[in-house]
Amino acid sequence: MNYLLTGACGFIGSHTFDEFVKRGHNIVVIDKLTYAGNINNIDTSKCKFYQIDINETEKLKKIVKIHKINKIINFAAETHVDNSIINASTFVKTNISGVLSLLNICKTQNIELIQISTDEVYGPAEYIPFDETTPLNPKNPYAATKAAADHLILSYVNTYNIEYKIIRPSNNFGTRQHHEKFIPKIIKNIRENKKIPIYGDGNQKRQWTYVNNTALAIYEIITKCNSGIYNIGDDNIMTNNNIVKNILSLLNCNNDLVTYVNDRAGHDKMYWITSKKINSYIDVVFTDFNIAIKETIDNL
């Protein structure tokens, strides 16, 4: 089996790359190497690497043919909600047009597409966790582009009968995550003795999953599960305030660095998904949050 990983120099992509490398798979990586991608996140001696954009369809098609690719795993995406609020155009190009480029290759070359989506496509949760049948209700431009890509994939499944998997992880944390994201920013600012900005009252709730667990679950879903949609999320739900307090405590700091700023436009109060579906196919073990966050701090 020959795998093409797009965006594998990024956060979740590079950790999933490691899972495939451990098992000796044939891997080709393409990555545009934007600000969020780092070539040092992967061992290029273990793969064939090309620096191109997923919208470069003809170049991609040649790579797919040369390496006899069987499955494309798409991690390539713009992901930072704040940036999508400022300017959504790049998100539309990468997250929608880029997926269309991959779909057209998969259609003509009879290749399975595995799309790494997000729990944010479901929108804010209230009283019960969302499962894979929940209607999509994205509330920010980033989430809307990811939801649009999911719909586009399902339309190709219905129209052209392509093989597919859509994987929707919850909020991830761990090593190699760009410092614009919440947890790396907290750690970076503490170490630099800078203020830690928290949106609104800090009581927004997120479901936090260690990236090592997500990467392994993605690998297991790809290699063991049938076509379909799969959520990945630990049961660990914490407010932004609790995350900050936890990290401050581990770094032996007080709350003096915390500052509350105007809330983000359209800020969802809570994301919550259930992983019951994948638990019926594979055995997902989630690392205790306190252990995972300490490993993250020590290695970030």
> Is residue 64 within 8 Å of 83, Cβ to Cβ?
no
Q: Which of 3, 122, 142, 219 is catalytic?
A: 142
Q: Which of 120, 150, 220, 268 is catalytic?
A: 120
Three-state secondary structure call for residue 115: strand
Q: Which of 53, 78, 119, 220 is catalytic?
A: 119
**Is residue 31 among the annotated active site residues?**
no
State how far the alpha carbon of 179 is from the alpha carbons of 113, 174, 182, 186, 219, in Å: 29, 11, 8, 9, 25
Copy the structure tokens of residue 8: 């594998």
> Is residue 260 within 8 Å of 198, Cβ to Cβ?
yes
Tell which residue, 147, 149, 116, has the closest CA to residue 134.
147
**Is residue 142 among the annotated active site residues?**
yes
CB count within 10 Å of CB 146 equals 29
**Is residue 192 among the annotated active site residues?**
no
Q: Can you tell me the distance from the alpha carbon of 177 to that of 189, in angstroms, rounded to the nearest whole number? A: 15
> Is residue 112 within 8 Å of 165, Cβ to Cβ?
yes
- Tell me the H-state helices in 32-140: 57-66, 81-86, 89-91, 98-109
**Which residue reads 């994948």 in tokens?**
278
Tell which residue, 79, 67, 59, 87, has the closest CA to residue 7.
79
Q: Can you tell me the distance from the alpha carbon of 59 to that of 244, in angstroms, rounded to the nearest whole number? A: 44
Distance of CA 268 to the CA centre of its chain: 18
Q: How many residues does the chain have?
A: 300
Sheet of strand 48-50, all strands in order from the earlier edge strand to the far edge: 48-50, 26-30, 2-6, 71-74, 112-116, 164-169, 228-232
Task: List the catalytic residues.
Answer: 119-120, 142
